[in-house]
Amino acid sequence: MRHFLTTEDWTREELQALLDAARVFRADPFSDALARRSLAFVFFNPSMRTRSSFQVGAHQLGGHSVVLEPGGSSWPIEARDGVVMDGDAEEHAREVVPILSRYFDMIGVRSFPKFKIWSDDLTDPVLSAFAKYASVPVINMETIVHPCQELAMMMALQDRIGETDGRKFTLSWVPHPRPLNTAVANSALLMAAKFGFDVTIAVPDEAYRLDERFMSAAQESAAANGRSITMTTDLDAAYDGANVVYAKSWGAIPYFGRWDEEAALREKAGAARFMIDEEKMARTDNGVVSHCLPMRRNVKIADAVADSDRFLGVAEAENRLHVQKAVMARLAVEARS
């Protein structure tokens, strides 16, 4: 039985097959790929797009979905083994996940990092527990990576620019009032490298380097494709000749748990200059811009860019519906075989 936890576990050909299937679902939305199937979508964190697109997608494939919100409308869950459960959690993943596996045919999980100790977050404790204790396929709906967002991004890019091999993909850190999850940045890096882009990561300071797990995986993909991964604090170099600018804000990993110090670092590094505007985009090779959304306008991306034809964020969000249907249908087929 196969899960969809990270695109690191899937080959480029397998991911391309999911993108091809997504385009079939876009052209012809309804099927019985999940007929008589029930799906649980477990949200430890808020969502608009993910929740809506998974539920609508399951419906369009003939399935029934239930959303669970541990700590909200359902019991808080502990995922770590061996802990004394004298805190908020009322039950353990060791019971919850086998029970969900008896009710449901597939389980989606969203569980963001705790933002205190990165080495703990890097183990992806909640998703790992679900994958370990589930006897049905598990889908990552965003933890420390966001693989469904990766597929949606690649679908939007292929639709707009066609061939991705040898094109320049700039992953630009952008400002936000708070330090955010690195998941989408990790994912954009993994996917762009796997699909043959030359990737430039633009950051205000070296402290914003992404975790070695994702840097190494991307470097392996880039080497296999004869491409490169570069990190720079030079915005002109990052934008010059770019075909794609992907915007994301994330917290600096060495400062995890010391966010006041990180705020001071941002100030010192002049982080506000990383907002994407027309002047920067003029340096690109008629480049497109995307973002996973939600997005703060005129903090991350200026109105003039977000409202222009360059902006693919809404198309990417639409694609979440199509690609997730492809993932759910694929996992359902594999679970039957």
Contact residues: ligand CP, CB under 6 A: 47-50, 142, 149, 292-294
Nearer to ligand CP, 93 or 292 (CB): 292
Minimum distance from CB of 293 to ligand CP (Å)?
Answer: 5
Minimum distance from CB of 152 to ligand CP (Å)?
Answer: 8
With left for phi above 0 and alpha for psi between -120 and 50, is residue 113 left, alpha or beta?
Answer: beta
Minimum distance from CB of 50 to ligand CP (Å)?
Answer: 3
Nearer to ligand CP, 229 or 292 (CB): 292
Nearer to ligand CP, 80 or 296 (CB): 296
Please give the residue whose beta carbon sits closest to ligand CP in the complex: 50
Nearer to ligand CP, 145 or 271 (CB): 145
The answer to whether residues 177 and 167 touch, using CB atoms and an 8 Å cutoff, is no
Nearer to ligand CP, 196 or 251 (CB): 251
The one-letter amino acid at 132: K
The answer to whether residues 297 and 306 touch, using CB atoms and an 8 Å cutoff, is yes
Minimum distance from CB of 314 to ligand CP (Å)?
Answer: 12
* Burial classification of residue 122, based on how many CB atoms lie within 10 Å of its CB (0-12 exposed, 13-18 middle, 19 or more buried): middle
- Quote the tokens at residue 220: 């392996």
Nearer to ligand CP, 168 or 325 (CB): 325
Minimum distance from CB of 175 to ligand CP (Å)?
Answer: 18
Nearer to ligand CP, 293 or 304 (CB): 293
- Quote the tokens at residue 330: 């694929």
186 contacts: CB under 8 Å, gap ≥ 6: 144, 145, 146, 210, 211, 214
Nearer to ligand CP, 136 or 152 (CB): 152
Minimum distance from CB of 233 to ligand CP (Å)?
Answer: 27
Rounded distance between C-alpha atoms, residue 135 and residue 15, angstroms? 23
The one-letter amino acid at 131: A
Minimum distance from CB of 76 to ligand CP (Å)?
Answer: 20
* Burial classification of residue 135, based on how many CB atoms lie within 10 Å of its CB (0-12 exposed, 13-18 middle, 19 or more buried): exposed
- Bridge-partner residues for 17, per DSSP? none
Minimum distance from CB of 156 to ligand CP (Å)?
Answer: 13
